[in-house]
Amino acid sequence: MEEEIRPLPKFDYFSPHSLHDLSTLLKQLKGGISFLAGGTDLLVNMKKRITIPKVIIDINRIQELSFIEKRSNNIHVGSVTRLNNLIESSIVQENVPLLTEAIRFLASHPIRNRATIGGNLCTASPAADAAPPLLALNASVKLKSPDDEKIVPLSEFFVGPRQTVRKHNEVLTEIIIPCEKGSNAFMKLGRRRGFSLSVVSVAAFGIIKGDKFEDIRIALGGVAPTPIRAYKIEEMLKGVEVSDRSIEKAAEIAKSISKPSKRAKRASVEYREAMARVLTKRVLMKIAFEERG
């Protein structure tokens, strides 16, 4: 029975201390691998028998995966960086504040002390709060396997609910976020004020010049099998005057591009679509207000 809580299943456990050791390990192992980072998803899934790994590779001790740096005009974040460390980082706050705003209330404080940014992305819940801001910021992720290393734009990373392009022997090592000066807004709707999985979340980054949307990037969570960029809205708004009407139009598009899975629990399809509209409108109004001063 799904959701039933059982004692942990048996597994082999490794805790490499470097990326090099990790590569060696990955070359030796056949499959059935789960990476243990924050543990806030993996251990839950194991108790519910949703995930039954043969091997757990604990990557918490790999120092090379925990860092926050600014290099030229990008922020580089190690995948095992804890969410609370990201929130408290002045580098992140000053350069990509949209991310800070979005994850500040993700889950709850003790969870954020362990949960990692890489873990949140790899778990790939359609409602994950970290994805929309990173999508709006044009972030990419670095995937490393024993023989290869590649950079994947986050917009190509998610392929389905809880599914990403990451192969079983690949580790997400780094998130790369370009820095840009502009206005940011993030809003989410839960089912209560306290921590709850977002029904819908919207992240937006915008630059307004001469009362027109010069650049606008919007991403939504909870309205599709994966978090999505709203390119249709962005195209429509580019060069358009900032007004109640243009914002209303944009919000309507948000509703129309929302295709939440009928199987998604927690809120009906119609409500999600309606909330996509409401939150998009509010996010755009916040950006407009901020830019106008």
Partner 1 sequence: MYQDYLGEVKKLLHGKDYKVVGKNVIRVDAIEKVTGRAKYTTDFIIENALIVRAVRSPYPHALIKKINKKPAFKIPGVVAVIIGDDIPGENQCGYYLDDQPLIATDKVRYIGDIVALVVAKDKESAWAGADAVEVKYEELPAVFDPKEALKGDFKIHNRKSPGDVKVIKGDVEQAFKECDVIVENIYKPGSQDHAYLETEAAIAIPEAQDGILVISTNQGPFRTRNAVARVLGKPQSQVRVITPYIGGGFGGKDTYGPIISSLAAVAAEITRQPAVIVHTRYDSFVYHFKRCPFEIRFKSGATKDGKLKAIEVDYLCDCGGYAAHVIGLLKRAAYHSTGVYEIPNCNVQGIAVYTNNLPVAAFNGFGNPQMLFAVESQMDLLAEKLNLDPVEFRLKNALVPGSRTGTNQLLDHSVGIKELISKVAKKADWVKKRSKQKRWQSETKKRGIGIGCSWHGCGTTGFKHDWAGASVILNPDGSVTYSTGIVEIGQGTITSHAMMVAETLGIPYEWVKVELNDTSRMPDSGETHAQRGAFIGGTAAVDAALKLRKKLNKLASEILKCDEDEITIEDGIAYSLNDASKKISFNDLVREMYQRGISPAEYGFIKARRGYPDPDTGQGDPYAAYTFGCTIAEVEIDIETGEVNVLRLYPGVAAGKILQPDVVRGQINGCAMLGLGYSLTEVVERENGKMVNPSFTDYLIPTIMDKPEIAEFISVEDEYKYSGYGAKGVGEIAFIATPLAVANAVYDAIGVRFYDLPISAEKVYFALKRK
Partner 2 sequence: MKIKFQLNGQPVEAEAPIDETLLDFLRNRLRITSVKKGCDLGECGTCTVLLNGKPVRSCLLLAVQIDGEDVTTIEGLSKDDNLNPIQEAFVKEYGFQCGFCTPGMILTTKALLDKNPDPSIEDIKIAFEGNLCRCTGYDQIIESVLRAAKLIKR
110: partner contacted, choices partner 1, partner 2, none (Cβ within 5-8 A by kind)? partner 2
Contacts of 258-263 with CB under 8 Å at 24 or more apart are 258/220, 258/223, 258/224, 259/223, 259/224, 259/225, 260/126, 260/222, 260/223, 260/224, 261/126, 261/161, 261/224, 261/225
Counting every residue written for the chain, the total comes to: 293
Q: Considering beta carbons, is residue 111 or 285 the nearer one to partner 2?
A: 111
Nearest distance from C-beta of residue 108 to partner 2, angstroms: 3
Q: Would you count residue 165 as binding partner 2 (CB under 8 A)? A: no
Q: Would you count residue 52 as binding partner 2 (CB under 8 A)? A: no
Q: How many residues bind partner 1 (CB under 8 A)?
A: 23
Q: Considering beta carbons, is residue 175 or 200 the nearer one to partner 1?
A: 200
Residues 6+ positions from 265 with CB-CB distance below 8 Å: none
Q: Would you count residue 3 as binding partner 1 (CB under 8 A)? A: yes
Largest CA distance in the chain: 62
Exposure of 175 by Cβ count < 10 A (0-12 exposed, 13-18 middle, 19+ buried)?
Answer: buried
Within 10 angstroms of residue 51's Cβ, the number of other Cβ atoms is 16
Q: Would you count residue 128 as binding partner 1 (CB under 8 A)? A: no
Taking residues 12 to 41 in sequence order and writing x for each that binds partner 2 by CB under 8 A, - otherwise, the string is xx-x--------------------x-xxx-
Within 10 angstroms of residue 8's Cβ, the number of other Cβ atoms is 11
Q: What are phi and psi of 261, to 5 degrees?
A: -65, 135
DSSP 116: B
Q: Would you count residue 50 as binding partner 2 (CB under 8 A)? A: no
Nearest distance from C-beta of residue 202 to partner 1, angstroms: 12
Q: Would you count residue 111 as binding partner 1 (CB under 8 A)? A: no
Taking residues 179 to 218 in sequence order and writing x for each that binds partner 1 by CB under 8 A, - otherwise, the string is ----------x-xxxxxxx---------------------
Block residue for tokens 């755009």 = 284
60: partner contacted, choices partner 2, partner 1, none (Cβ within 5-8 A by kind)? partner 2
Residues forming contacts to partner 1 in the complex (CB under 8 A) are 1, 3-7, 189, 191-197, 265-268, 270-271, 274-275, 278
